[in-house]
Chain A
Amino acid sequence: MAGADVRKERLDRGIKVRTSGIYAISGGKEIGYLILPRLVLIAGLLLLPLVVTNPYWQRVISIVGIYALLALSFDFLTHYVGLVSLGGAFFVGVGGYLAALLNTKLGLSPLFSIPLATVGGGLFCTLAILPCLPLRGVYFSIVTLMYPLLAMRVIEALNIFGGTEGIMGVASFPNRWVEQYSLIVVLLLALFGLRRLVNTDLGLVFRAVKDNDQAVKASGINITHYKTLAVFISASLACLGGAYLVHIYMWAGISTLALDFSIIPIAATVIGGGGTLVGPVLGALILVPISELLRAFGTLRIVFYALILMAFIVFRSEGIMVYAQRKYHQFEKWVQV
């Protein structure tokens, strides 16, 4: 087709009015055009538990949901506040242990232990991270990386919370429908809630702290307050993931503090497209099943996993969602020259 007398023309769709962030909508077609991708995501996630029949893969759905929450928490804090936290595993562990303790010691059902672990764990993690908030860039990352390592060794050395054995006998969900649908609904609420938040005036202050914290200070705003609030939001989401994890596996142990929970969400964010919020969810949806499929390769699993990650980063370094969003808003056609 690409002969001498035709060329490819690329246009932005008319709907994208040239004032970034503001869309002028002028009819049903355009509304449909904007709603379609959201609908596909919502319907797709809600159908997932129905179409997957294999019990093993049904469990994977829940794990995907948990990693999606963690990736969302990482993406928000990194790309909207500028704090690159490697302490995701710490958040998961705190949420997990808290939920397990609330359930086994106080006898609270998951209906109460999960929300309490979310908020309480968020508060605890925020207080723990508070001394690091003046740090910027790689210094913040390195210090937050120490938290899960530290917590793991403290639990081991002091033999608290069951030590290396962990806390057993944590209540599970009544059935898989409650487990999966509550998780999917919570995930969707978190995703759309965060997307809304980052475009409110409060969200703009978060983004300004990332862009340029000096100018925010010069505007009479105490940036420590806003960093604290952002860490609380992010930590709460990850604690929520941790609480789910513990109730699904019916066990809380030091492996909930494993660095996988810090690293895999970052990989999911990179693959999905950082700063899009929906990208990390998509990334988790791709990465976690791939990781399960690769179990067939035994020890070589990590090798293939790393190769896939590298290929993604080399060939689509912007991330799937960034690429997809750009393509969705453009259309190409061949025109006669």
Chain B
Amino acid sequence: MSGPPLLEVQNISKAFGGIQALSGVSFNVHSRDIFGIIGPNGSGKTTLVNSITGFVRIDSGKVNFQGREISNLPPHKIADLGVTRTFQIMRPYYSLPAYKNLIIPLFSPRARRTGGWRGGGKLGDRDTVGIDILEEIGFERDSQVPYKLASTLPTGYLKRLELARCLALRPELILCDEVFSGLSMSEIASMLPLIERLQMEGITLIMIEHRLKELFRVANRVLVMNFGQKLIEGSPEEVMADPKVKEAYLGSEDLSDYV
């Protein structure tokens, strides 16, 4: 990859009380990467996303986006620069119909500037733009689905709605916190082309996943986290071949390590 990185994470640390959730994590994400982050439960993946997007304050280290420092900016300012995120525990506006969920991101200053995912600098009628985005992301326009209350939608659609909420801002970078978890094999299979299409359009993705097989199909770089630290970083093949990764997931094969 040539050129300066889109996102530079430099040596960031975060402790919650006595628990060191992140210690000295550094990595770079380049434009149009699909950057996977994997690791066992509790290894600090979600804290990493929260730190980059401003939802938790980091204790030390630096995050740069497009060469500009964004560490510890409030979340709405970071989102305004084009760094958006999905939530692991889905956070739709349950009392609103699916397409009305997109009114909120389309109301933001960034969407007004960019016009939304396909807006080309001009924001049209928010209801129409919202339904267009939902259609592109897999809500059948002529069905009732886009008009249903978010509280009545199944998980598959809610995960897509999370992504749609990011896309409505016309983001540069999306941090996806486990968009595949809870989905059936066929639902994941239909999401993968969408992920690839976003990459083709120039949107960079950071994907936290437990579904390694699917992740490795789309990702070009993978970071492995363990106990809040970076274990290794490399291409999917390098990561898969590394014995440390197997150890982190399955425990040490050699008991003498513990003795």
A19-B144, A204-B96, A220-B79 in contact; A215/B87 too (CB < 8 A)? yes
- B126 at interface, CB cutoff 8 A: yes
Task: Assess the A221–B76 pair: CB atoms within 8 A.
Answer: yes
A interface bracket (residues with beta carbon within 8 Å of B): 20 to 34
Q: Which of B85, B87, B91, B107 contacts A201 (CB 8 A)?
A: B107
- A223 at interface, CB cutoff 8 A: yes
Task: Assess the B95–A211 pair: CB atoms within 8 A.
Answer: yes
- B5 at interface, CB cutoff 8 A: no
Task: Assess the B111–A220 pair: CB atoms within 8 A.
Answer: yes
| Nearest A residue to B175, CB-CB | A218
Q: Which of A197-224 contact B (CB under 8 A)?
A: 201-202, 204-205, 207-208, 211-212, 214-223
Task: Assess the A217–B79 pair: CB atoms within 8 A.
Answer: yes
Task: Assess the A211–B108 pair: CB atoms within 8 A.
Answer: no
> Chain B: how many interface residues by the 8 Å CB criterion?
35
Q: Which of A19, A21, A214, A221 contacts B108 (CB 8 A)?
A: A221
Contact residues of A: prevailing secondary structure: helix
Q: Which of B149-169 contact A (CB under 8 A)?
A: 149, 165-166, 168-169
Task: Assess the A202–B100 pair: CB atoms within 8 A.
Answer: no
- B55 at interface, CB cutoff 8 A: yes
Residues of A within 8 A of B38 (CB): none
- A106 at interface, CB cutoff 8 A: no
- A26 at interface, CB cutoff 8 A: no
Residues of A within 8 A of B208 (CB): none
Q: Which of B41-100 contact A (CB under 8 A)?
A: 53, 55, 74-76, 79-80, 84-85, 87, 91-97, 100
- B105 at interface, CB cutoff 8 A: yes
Task: Assess the A219–B165 pair: CB atoms within 8 A.
Answer: yes
Q: Which of A1-52 contact B (CB under 8 A)?
A: 18-22
Query: Which residues of A does B touch, CB under 8 Å?
Result: 18-22, 201-202, 204-205, 207-208, 211-212, 214-223
Given A201-B103, A207-B93, 15 further pairs, Cβ under 8 A: A20-B149, A21-B100, A201-B107, A204-B93, A204-B103, A204-B107, A205-B104, A208-B93, A212-B93, A217-B55, A218-B79, A219-B104, A219-B169, A220-B169, A222-B74
